[in-house]
């Protein structure tokens, strides 16, 4: 006799922590101050059946305590780089709590630059937020191995020429005219994974690697004569893999920010690739991973949740 | 002789399409109009090596054509439900293009309700946007099997009592006082996967299933005396699995929207759980999957990209 | 001998206070709870030359104290309506501080509705945020007279027919085709000023007046056969002035949320006012004040700061 | 016999136009390209009784035509500066349409900087959006006189010391401890009005004046040892009035972005002005106008609409 009733509910993957802790760390070197401005999110997994099933919090380190730890560690360890700060945190949660098996720290970093004011004398404590892009870091730890995925987002770039688009499939719903000269614009969202996983080996120079990756992404974007945004994306990713041996994988999510040439003929005007309408929605969305040959992909496919 | 140089770059997973097509479909039944208001994103995979490596678009159905298809299908097939509309689209892309292997359609739906105006006579063409939550649907197809993950987001709920929090781990960084009465508030973000995968079997009643799931989530939230948000989360998910046999998996992402009791003693006032400060950041973030026993989890772990 | 050098700098209008205090007030009536959810901003003017010119804070009530007052008053006075709560606050600041001349309180109110859960028994402490529109109130006081400007925003409405647009000016830059049937959609942003200014006279019933105004705006929108959004706007405003004698002035800011009929002819399909593209930007922006004859306008002209 | 019935509704101030036209203008100077990226909003007033009262559009220049004009003028006149572009537009609307009495053009400008890529050769057509602040311009014209109000927003600045706060009023609700060393951070929102009103006189050098004003705001912020944000605000405004004779009035809206020193004593740590929590809400909001002596103020008092 079979039982066709659907099975009962069981608990699957679960994680928890405090999200978006906004910590600002000032370091004073005499009259010269330094600033680190982070948004830190903690996510923990472990022995958490009970709290879900019975509400017993016996294994639960509170999200409030994880928040306190972020601020206390900013004092105790300082913030050398987002990655290193995250490593301190992840190690602490996994090694200090029996019930915690893995920790994942996500960090956004906001860059500041100095205000060079002639009347400020020796004082160097004034800053203006740079705002160009947001740097990101994700630090994963299971007690044995590390996974570091760094990245950036909201870096908006544009080529005003050197972009063509033609030779594509023409199906029943294709109306787009081919073009030999268009604006190519996108908002770069990139995440790259370092090969470093073992604490016994030296860490990559996180800040330097970030600056190099950022620069290579910009240069590859500018230097690629583009026949499609996919081609540009691949060039950007491959450049990073080829130039930075410490990076094994990079994923790029590039919205195609359409700039439509405005038809000025009704007004007796010729638009010689001069006047464009910058559209909001819809937009093309081109996403791909570029890997070092032989590397296993580990960055999740979806980097946006929209819609 | 060994070669220690890092390997070359290779292309990994990639996908593309047009995101956020804002289509509004009006159906006229005499003086009575009906409205469907969708935000549709298309994502395709397939034989796309060439476009990345050489810029050849020979296999590329343009994102512009995918946009046109969304609007044309709103006419040809109508919009019965977000899920059914997405199924039409996904089937079309996979079956009509040799180079396309999989299609994933993501839809946000915005609900409207009628304005009942006494002076409008027979006319029923006036609507006010409901705005309470956003309904979501994700339709995946690989030419053989379907994966339908429906959901909702931005449904904000609050219990003004019947929530305790105590008995948790006290580590060096724990300062939170235990409480026997607190506000529990969260913004429900839920995604649930239907067991339906095979076109030969009847589809679930998508709209009805949505209404039931939404109702069960609200009721379980209200009816659970909570010792932790994890417990409430599990009750919400388990209720859905138990009540809707067509659903095999649900994932909930629940930010703990903290409402802090304001200390009014400095002003000579007693705050008897009456006056709260609603905080923005940081917030707890509690996430878990609840499965039907025996089901394989398939909803990705991360439902938010913040930070 | 004249002096052509430009004059020195002097201080003009100034105001200060704490913005966006998020206060939630729970009232318990046995097992039945009530909730008021407000975002309160305080803005004060007065004798503030010194703090600007010399940095002396001798006349400055701190913004932190204005915040504390908001929370303390939620306990001491409760929150009957946003308007009444703001009146308590404004009166306090102006009458308790010699240096303060005027107070302006701005409030956003977020509405909640009960979750009716069958298993909740007698308990009535569960709520879901309604989210349809945001209610606003602005309370001004100079020690003598009151000015109360209430309002709402983000109430999105749509007529799927009964809207025409033709007979307009055709200049060199006009290309828009005339139409006898279009979607008319807007996001209502309304502010209305009550005639009540004198504490010696009875206050209007704030909550009831809000509900009536909201209803009249919706009904007038639905009942107007529209030849232009300006005409619809005027009908909405005039309806309120005519139906609510306690209101002397209303200003409406109505973005024309364009819904463009999609051209489906390239696909061999006829679009009989069925399929629309909902555009984001640009949008028409129609704004006007409607007054009771003889009233002096007092609501500022610009209700949006974009761009 | 008196008639106590409230008076009928009449039309008051009204304005209309197309908002948020996103125009990008490329200028090619051989291989060197230049880019101007604007968001342009048009607002017109005039003889518009009829369209409100009867729906007759006989006097209405469509918002669609105003949009077309923006794009056509980007071709015909180019975009030398936001201010000059707005002057072309405003003059056109007022002088070409009998029914139009005044025009107000609002512009946001997004700055870009070149990507200097070594492999790009002679090509100079690659840009990265600067994103630090948004430049604004408002151009008003009534057929006789001009009013130009330029500005900037979202320029975030921070002093990590050289800020004190004490000596303020202590009322019943004051709990804030005095401090001799705190972080002072704000997001500068500034609008300044030029004395230029008469087309017969030479225009100020708009771009240069913008750069100077921006620089003086930053320098005054950095150079002021602050006893209150009001004092800093005044120094910023006065510096601009004193240094730029072409500017008669400036209004600053400065949210006090609180950075709270985190109490680390529970963890046995001393926080020597090193670790701060950056709070979102509530925030202080300090606003003031600084005028050239003798000038009439004309910039509206409220620069934000929140809440």
* Residue C302 Cα distances to C248, D102, D104, D306, angstroms: 18, 15, 12, 13
Same-domain status, D299 and D173: yes
Residues in chain B closer than 8 A to D280 (CB atoms): 280-281
- Measured distance CA(B137)–CA(B40) in Å, rounded: 9
Q: Do B161 and C72 touch (CB under 8 A)?
A: no
Q: What percent of chain D clears pLDDT 70, i.e. is strictly above it?
A: 97
* Res. A109: pLDDT tops 50: yes
- Is residue B3 domain-resident? no
* Res. D304: pLDDT tops 90: no
Q: Tell which phi-psi region holds residue C161, choosing left (phi > 0), alpha (psi between -120 and 50) or beta.
A: beta
Q: Calculate how close chain B gets to A151, using CA atoms only, in Å.
A: 12
Option in C51, C171, C241 nearest D96 (CB)? C171
Same-domain status, B284 and B161: yes
Tokens (6 digits) for A283 = 């937009």
Same-domain status, D290 and D168: yes
CATH value at residue B101: 3.10.270.10
Report yes or no: A267 at the D interface, CB cutoff 8 Å: yes
Same-domain status, A140 and A155: no
Are the C-beta atoms of C237 and C216 separated by less than 8 Å? Answer: no
At A98 the pLDDT is 95
Residues in chain A closer than 8 A to C175 (CB atoms): 266
At A307 the pLDDT is 60
Strand, helix or coil for residue B277: strand
DSSP state of C98: T
At C4 the pLDDT is 61
Number of H helices, E strands in chain A: 5, 13
Same-domain status, D51 and D179: no
Split at pLDDT 50, 70, 90, the class of A3 is low
Same-domain status, C292 and C199: yes
User: What are the two backbone dihedrals, phi and then psi, of residue A23, each rounded to the nearest 5 degrees?
Assistant: -110, 130
Same-domain status, A122 and A158: no
Among D83, D110, D144, residue at a domain's last position: D144
The DSSP annotation for D9-56 comes to EEEEEEEEEEE-EEEEEEEEETTEEEEEEEEEEEEEEES-HHHHHT--
**Cβ neighbours around D96 below 10 Å, total:** 13
Residues in chain D closer than 8 A to A266 (CB atoms): 68
Tokens (6 digits) for B9 = 């770059």
- Is residue A5 domain-resident? no
Q: Is C258 known to be catalytic?
A: yes
Query: Using one digit for the tens of pLDDT, what is the confidence trace for D140-192?
Result: 999 999 999 999 999 999 999 999 999 999 999 999 999 999 999 999 999 99
At D3 the pLDDT is 55
Among C126, C144, C162, residue at a domain's last position: C144
Q: Is D258 known to be catalytic?
A: yes
At D4 the pLDDT is 61
Option in A9, A16, A59 nearest B292 (CB)? A9
The DSSP annotation for D206-220 comes to HHHHHHHHHHHHHHH
Kindly provide the residue ranges of all beta strands, DSSP E only, lying in B143-244, ordered along the sequence: 146-159, 184-194
- Is residue B5 domain-resident? no
Q: Structure pTM?
A: 0.97
Q: How far is CA A277 from the centre of its chain?
A: 28
DSSP state of C109: E
Q: What is the domain range of residue C56?
A: 15-144
Q: How far is CA A151 from the centre of its chain?
A: 4
Same-domain status, B158 and B306: yes
Strand, helix or coil for residue C273: coil
Residues in chain C closer than 8 A to B125 (CB atoms): 159-162
Same-domain status, D36 and D118: yes
Q: Which of A132, A212, A220, A225 is nearest to A181 (CA)?
A: A225
Q: Say which residue the tokens 């030296």 belong to.
A: A202
At C2 the pLDDT is 47
Same-domain status, C156 and C227: yes
**CB hemisphere CA count around B191 (13 angstroms):** 25
Q: Which of C49, A116, C52 is nearest to D238 (CA)?
A: C52
Same-domain status, D172 and D245: yes
For C131, name the nearest residue in chain B, comparing CA atoms only.
Answer: B132
Report yes or no: D112 at the C interface, CB cutoff 8 Å: no
For C275, name the nearest residue in chain B, comparing CA atoms only.
Answer: B25
- Is residue A206 domain-resident? yes
For D100, residues 6+ apart whose C-beta sits below 8 A from its C-beta are: D44, D45, D46, D47, D61, D93, D94
- Measured distance CA(C206)–CA(C198) in Å, rounded: 15
Query: Using one digit for the tens of pLDDT, what is the confidence trace for D233-273?
Result: 999 999 999 999 999 999 999 999 999 999 999 999 999 99
**Beta bridge partner(s), residue A19:** B283
- Is residue D38 domain-resident? yes
User: How many domains does chain D fold into?
Assistant: 2
Residues in chain A closer than 8 A to D278 (CB atoms): 22-24, 37
Are the C-beta atoms of C14 and C44 separated by less than 8 Å? Answer: no
Residuewise pLDDT in 10s, chain C (307 residues): 445 667 899 999 999 999 999 999 999 999 999 999 999 999 999 999 999 999 999 999 999 999 999 999 999 999 999 999 999 999 999 999 999 999 999 999 999 999 999 999 888 999 999 999 999 999 999 999 999 999 999 999 999 999 999 999 999 999 999 999 999 999 999 999 999 999 999 999 999 999 999 999 999 999 999 999 999 999 999 999 999 999 999 999 999 999 999 999 999 999 999 999 999 999 999 999 999 999 999 999 988 765 5
**CB contact residues (below 8 A), chain C span 35-54, against chain B:** 35, 37
- Measured distance CA(D300)–CA(D287) in Å, rounded: 11
Option in A115, A161, A276 nearest D222 (CB)? A115
pLDDT < 50 stretches in chain B: 1-2
Q: What percent of chain A clears pLDDT 90, i.e. is strictly above it?
A: 95
At B1 the pLDDT is 40
Query: Using one digit for the tens of pLDDT, what is the confidence trace for D70-107?
Result: 999 999 999 999 999 999 999 999 999 999 999 999 99
For B53, name the nearest residue in chain A, comparing CA atoms only.
Answer: A231
At A252 the pLDDT is 98
Mutant choice from B21, B71, B261 vs C, greatest count of C C-beta within 10 A: B71
Are the C-beta atoms of B278 and B128 separated by less than 8 Å? Answer: no
At C302 the pLDDT is 87
Name the helix (H) or strand (E) containing A104: strand A100-109
Looking at A4-8, D159-163, D226-230, which range is the least confident one? A4-8
* Residue A10 Cα distances to A52, A260, B238, B267, C224, angstroms: 10, 51, 8, 49, 55
Number of residues assigned to chain C: 307
Report chain D's terminal Cα–Cα distance, integer Å. Answer: 46
For A173, name the nearest residue in chain C, comparing CA atoms only.
Answer: C267
Catalytic residue (choose from B36, B67, B92, B258): B258
- Is residue C307 domain-resident? no
- Is residue C9 domain-resident? no
- Is residue A4 domain-resident? no
Looking at every residue in chain D, the average pLDDT score rounds to 96
Same-domain status, B163 and B115: no
Among C82, C112, C144, residue at a domain's last position: C144
């Amino acid at each position: 006799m079979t039982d066709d009733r659907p099975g009962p509910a069981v608990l699957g993957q679960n994680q928890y922590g405090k999200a978006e802790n906004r910590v600002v760390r000032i370091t004073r070197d005499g009259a010269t101050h330094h600033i680190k401005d982070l948004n830190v999110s903690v996510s923990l997994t472990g022995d958490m059946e009970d709290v879900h099933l019975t509400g017993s919090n016996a294994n639960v380190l509170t999200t409030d305590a994880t928040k306190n730890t972020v601020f206390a560690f900013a004092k105790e360890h300082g913030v050398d780089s987002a990655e290193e700060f995250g490593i301190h945190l992840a190690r602490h949660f996994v090694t200090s709590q029996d019930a915690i098996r893995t920790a994942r720290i996500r960090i956004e970093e906001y860059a500041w630059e100095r205000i060079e004011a002639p009347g400020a004398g020796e004082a160097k404590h004034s800053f203006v937020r740079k705002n160009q892009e947001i740097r990101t870091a994700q630090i994963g730890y299971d007690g044995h191995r590390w996974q570091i995925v760094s990245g950036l987002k909201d870096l908006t770039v544009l080529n005003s020429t050197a972009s063509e688009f033609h030779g594509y499939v023409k199906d029943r719903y294709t109306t787009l005219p081919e073009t030999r000269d268009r604006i190519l614009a996108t908002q770069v969202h990139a995440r790259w994974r370092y090969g470093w996983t073992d604490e016994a080996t030296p860490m990559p120079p996180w800040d330097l690697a970030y600056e190099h990756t950022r620069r290579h992404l910009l240069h590859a974007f500018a230097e690629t004569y583009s026949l499609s945004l996919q081609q540009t994306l691949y060039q950007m990713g491959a450049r990073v893999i080829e130039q930075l041996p410490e990076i094994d994988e990079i994923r790029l999510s590039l919205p195609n920010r359409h700039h439509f040439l405005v038809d000025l003929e009704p007004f007796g005007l010729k638009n010689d690739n001069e006047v464009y309408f910058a559209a909001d929605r819809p937009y093309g969305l081109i996403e791909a991973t570029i890997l070092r040959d032989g590397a296993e992909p580990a960055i999740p496919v979806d980097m946006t949740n929209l819609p």
